[in-house]
Amino acid sequence: MYKFRPILKSMLWGGEKLIPFKGIASDMKQVGESWEISGVKDNESIVADGPDAGMTLPQLLERDGALLLGKENYKRFGNEFPLLIKFIDAREDLSIQVHPDDKLAWERHQSKGKTEMWYVVDAEPGSRLRSGFAKEVTPEEYEASIADNTITNLLAEYDIHAGDLFFLPAGRVHSIGAGAFIAEIQQTSNITYRIYDFNRCDANGNPRELHTELSKAAIDYSVLPDYRTHYEDARDCRVPLASCEYFTTSLYNISKEHCIDLAELDSFVVVICTAGSGTITDNSGNSITIRQGETILVPATATALNINPNEDMKILTSWI
């Protein structure tokens, strides 16, 4: 089992919650993102401790292959780790964005697309997220709304609270609002088309680049009655959250010792702790501590995880 050094990203819109949430020492300001596990080029995670400390995630994959990813995953992804895991702290509204699907991303960028999900860890009163169109929109109306600064009128907006969940397939227009603190699970891709940025300027005073033309072909213009993902919360058992070809994510609210059976699973497991602390022990007796704000990568060779909480814990698990 592996912990990695967090990759902290200072952003124009970033806040000051991530460093204390994670309990780490850093003088960095406006930390908008902590990349917990990443195989993205030039942003590869590095093992934090243990006998493999200092190794990068790609180096682990090159050495362990299917033992780390799982046999079918290794056939599918090779030495590319398929998920990117982040915490995001938004002090201000993020830009309105869309991500291309696999086909379009490969044609344009020789990259994977980006399907993702948001789990709301915390939210200030009045915080909101945007996800999907609120009404039927043509590509021409969409483009005009960017030009006249009315794009926000076309999008579905939601007041958010801790525990809210949004699944975002590639092609869905979305944005994170001020005061939102979320855990994000996504395909390994850094392809983002910025649609609208509230006329903000970068640190040098220049308007931030928009990708209006690129985004038009990437957008799914269909309209849904509700873009939230609803689930029934429960204690000391698996609560399914989201499942697609790119990841399956579950929630565990743990108040007592709990075992997760992985015997039938041919995949790595990512464990993200959003509250509390405890110890995780695999079937071979390997133990690792975990606390709020930490993320662990469990190799595919593990067939069971025993979780022993020090206090009430809340964890997300994700695999393929």
pLDDT digits (tens, 9 = 90+) for 13-37: 999 999 999 999 999 999 999 999 9
Other C-beta atoms lying within 10 Å of the C-beta of residue 303: 13
* Structural domains for the chain: 2-67+78-218 (2.60.120.10), 239-319 (2.60.120.10)
Q: Dihedral through CA 206, CA 180, CA 129, CA 127, nearest 10? A: -110
**Whole-number Å distance between alpha carbons of 55 and 44:** 10
Contact 114, 187 (CB under 8 A): yes
Contact 38, 2 (CB under 8 A): no
Other C-beta atoms lying within 10 Å of the C-beta of residue 82: 20
Contact 28, 44 (CB under 8 A): no
Tell me the per-residue pLDDT of 129-186, one tens digit each, with 9 for 90 and over. Answer: 999 999 999 999 999 998 899 999 999 999 999 999 999 999 999 999 999 999 999 9
What pLDDT was estimated at residue 243?
97
**Whole-number Å distance between alpha carbons of 291 and 154:** 40
Averaged pLDDT of the chain: 95
What pLDDT was estimated at residue 213?
87
Phi first, then psi, for residue 63 (nearest 5°) are -80, -45
Is the pLDDT at 209 greater than 90, yes or no? Answer: no
Q: What is the DSSP letter of 257?
A: -
Q: How far is CA 212 from the centre of its chain?
A: 24
Contact 180, 127 (CB under 8 A): yes
Cross-strand pairs, 175: 130
Contact 178, 90 (CB under 8 A): yes
Name the pLDDT band for 44 (thresholds 50, 70, 90). very high
Tell me the per-residue pLDDT of 64-108, one tens digit each, with 9 for 90 and over. Answer: 999 999 999 999 999 999 999 999 999 999 999 999 999 999 999
**CB-based burial label for 29 (10 Å; 0-12, 13-18, 19+):** exposed
pTM of the prediction?
0.94
